Structure 1
Amino acid sequence: MKQTIPGGSKYAAIKAKLRELKLHTVVLVRGETGTATATIMILGDTCTRGCRFCNVKTSRTPPPPDPDEPSNVAEAIASWGLDYVVITSVDRDDLDDQGSNHFAETVQKLKGRNIWIRCFRPNIETVEELQGVVRDRRANFEQSIGVLKMAKSYAPAGTLTKTSIMLGCGETPDQVLSTMEKVRAAGVDVVTFGQYMRPSKRHMPVSEYITPEAFEKYRSVGVEMGFRYVASGPMVRSSYKAGEFYIKSMIDADRARAPASP
């Protein structure tokens, strides 16, 4: 299995703008569908948590958030000419509001532009039984499920909720199916499955490389469970490029069918 490394003039321009505005990104441009998108990581590049699978820098006392970051994100997106952006962030347990106001300000700065914004999709990361092994002790299954339920209850009609699961962390098929059922019961619309890849020897080892056939089975079972979209494959990540635009089309269709506000 091979993955094309990003490159070209568009890639170089985005990298340069990131450095200029002191922004951070997890995923750069993806052009599979003929449309460009990027994932921007806000609240700095240092997380207060230390999950065993993640390669983001960690510290108990990271630098304070850059007050110019929300405006810089909007400036960067405008200069790139993108029409779809994913906003994600590190965890900031050191802040009283855990960075929520900074997150909200960033989204507000992007409002009014002709661009789709996706944010606030807590990943459960692994099956319920392995939460304490894979994730930081301050993260857990019930907490993530609770956030997904809250997002669904407060979000405007037509908003989709999404989460992601890594496979190859030591889970069993029965645990995956049980976790999927609980995620679906929480009202989650979209789920993605990908292969866990060890970032370095300091991180949790890969327990198993899942076969494409097994990924396909989880996809078909997820559809049967009622998920509106399931992306499942070795190279799939939480911001799966093809899936992003399929989800956008679903939201467009939902909103077109929704009754007009009085």
Structure 2
Amino acid sequence: MQYSFKRKPEWLRKKISFSINKELESLLEQHNISTVCQEAMCPNISECFSKKQATFFIMGTECTRRCTFCAVDKGHPKPLDHQEPANIAKAVKIMGLRHVVITSPTRDDLSDGGAQHFCKTVQAIKDMDNSIVVEILIPDLQEDKDSIKQIANSDADIVAHNLETIPRLYHIRKGASYKRSLNVLKMLKEYNSKIATKSGIMVGLGEKRDEVLELMQHLLDVGCEYFSIGQYLQPTQKHENIVEYVHPSEFETLRIIGLDMGFRYIQSSPYTRSSYMAHEYLEHQNG
């Protein structure tokens, strides 16, 4: 495949304040903590960091899979840092966060995919302050029943697992399966019907509206309540090409249709990411 950059339209030219980033980066470095905001080169990094919002990236910064759209490093992950759950809890306290999002690279090298480490991190935060809302964004854990059951029965308030794209384009998700990811979301509800589940996709990769609507129905069929839609942005020339920049009006159309279909809350805009303004999902669940 030949890779190339596509010129951004005006609505996608967001300014990044590096001075704001450095302040929070310094705090995170003191506690040996990474954020997905940094690792995935998120365009919302200045906005979120200025509001003292961040999505913590646990279990290292290297992924065992090689998805062609993702900016996270690929390779051989390091052993788990068993002090990490406590360090994350300390950072949450220092930053004064009330809604915490935790995610990780895919760790196929671990027997449980990292499920226990997720649970320990959630517990460390809840032990510090049980009123803090904790959301975790998990990989597919290779659809392992025991691992998914651990996650479902953790103290997490929301568990997210992203489908990322429509079935026809799943070749960009190396080592993943659309059916497997749907089953993960289904199993979470089977193990704990009270837990809130969430998923998200990128658009601009060549999908059609009817394909997106079909995906949305698949999510509703497995009990998923929350959904996010954002524009795919090519991290570098070596990553998957952008087919189109979707107009903001189409994002709004999809949001309205999705709410009518039955989702509790949807964020849908060019700059939406699965963890962006995460606190709004629970705040608007009855809106």
What TM-score does the superposition give when structure 1 sets the normalisation length? 0.86
Equivalent in 39, 59, 71 of residue 86 of structure 2: 71
Equivalent in 236, 242, 247 of residue 211 of structure 1: 247
Q: Distance in 2 between matches of 1:173 and 1:81?
A: 40
In the other structure, the counterpart of 2:191 is: 154
Q: Distance in 1 between matches of 2:193 and 2:22?
A: 37
In the other structure, the counterpart of 2:149 is: none
Q: Residue 223 of structure 1: CA displacement?
A: 0.9
Equivalent in 264, 267, 277 of residue 231 of structure 1: 267
Matched, 1:124 2:129: no
Equivalent in 16, 19, 27 of residue 26 of structure 2: 16
Equivalent in 78, 83, 87 of residue 102 of structure 2: 87
Q: Residue 3 of structure 1: CA displacement?
A: 2.7
Partner secondary structure for residue 206 of structure 1: coil
Matched, 1:181 2:217: yes
Q: Residue 155 of structure 1: CA displacement?
A: 2.9
In the other structure, the counterpart of 2:173 is: 135
AA matched with 1:25: T
Q: Distance in 1 between matches of 2:67 and 2:250?
A: 26
In the other structure, the counterpart of 1:42 is: 58
Q: 1:38, 1:84 within 8 Å by CA — same for their partners in 2?
A: no
Q: Distance in 2 between matches of 1:105 and 1:6?
A: 33
Q: Residue 156 of structure 1: CA displacement?
A: 5.5
CA deviation vs aligned residue, 1:133-177 (integer Å, no higher than 9, x gap)? 2211x21111111111111222362x3211001001111122111
Q: 1:54, 1:203 within 8 Å by CA — same for their partners in 2?
A: yes
Deviates more, 1:175-184 or 1:42-51: 175-184
Deviates more, 1:207-216 or 1:191-200: 207-216
Q: Distance in 2 between matches of 1:207 and 1:144?
A: 24
Q: Distance in 2 between matches of 1:73 and 1:245?
A: 18
Q: Distance in 2 between matches of 1:29 and 1:160?
A: 28
Q: 1:35, 1:83 within 8 Å by CA — same for their partners in 2?
A: no
Moved over 6 A (4+): none
In the other structure, the counterpart of 2:283 is: 249
Q: Residue 111 of structure 1: CA displacement?
A: 0.8
In the other structure, the counterpart of 2:156 is: none
Q: Name the Cα RMSD after superposition.
A: 2.2
Structure 1 residue runs of 5 or longer lacking an equivalent are: 254-262
* Count of residues paired in the alignment: 245
Q: Residue 8 of structure 1: CA displacement?
A: 5.5
Q: Residue 4 of structure 1: CA displacement?
A: 4.2
CA deviation vs aligned residue, 1:203-248 (integer Å, no higher than 9, x gap)? 000011111121111111101110111111111111121xx23323
